[in-house]
Amino acid sequence: MDAALVADGKNAMVGQMRLSLDQTDRSQLISAWAPGEIRVGERRYRRSVVLKAGTEPLPWPAPRPAELVLEDLTPALNLAPEILLLGTGSRLVFPDPAIYARMLALGVGIEVMDTGAACRTYNILVAEDRAVVAALIIEQ
């Protein structure tokens, strides 16, 4: 079966499937996660952090997940995300429903998950060139 191939150097069209060259800056991706630590590129972080591709990671004085209030998310919201990933440590802890309501009012999607899942999701969304910010709680 012959498939027509059309390419412009960055994208290719094979039949009905579009293929794109992955040009993600790997230094902006989370390269490892373990309890108590994440690694972005080759840098290790052992305290909670806010990440957005193209910006320097921000230290984040996050409270325990169950105590999280909207004001705690200000550093992440200041980065103007379309999607905010909230990593709540080693286990999933849902924040106060008022946080969801405020994110909806701001037009920001919020996804809450354990920090390991948030790291994997962040990498996928960065590779898709989405305006994603990850607020990751790293437990001591």
- State pLDDT tens for residues 75-99: 999 999 999 999 999 999 999 999 9
pTM summary value: 0.81
* Domains identified in the chain and CATH numbers: 24-136 (3.40.1230.10)
What is the identity of the amino acid at 131?
Answer: A
Report the alpha-carbon distance of residue 113 to residue 131 in Å, rounded: 18
Task: Report which DSSP code applies to 27.
Answer: G
pLDDT of residue 129: 92
Pick the closest to residue 115 from 25, 24, 43, 50 (CA basis). 50
Cα–Cα distance, 107 to 54 (Å, whole number): 22
Yes or no: say if 122 and 85 are a contact pair by the CB < 8 Å rule. Answer: yes
pLDDT at 14: 59
- Tokens at 1, concatenated: 């079966």
Torsional sign, CA 73, 79, 129, 33: negative
CA distances from 86 to 15, 16, 48, 97, 124 (A): 38, 36, 11, 14, 15
**Averages of pLDDT over each 10 residues, the chain, 140 residues:** 54 60 62 93 94 95 94 97 97 95 96 97 96 95
CA-wise closest residue to 85 among 97, 103, 101: 103
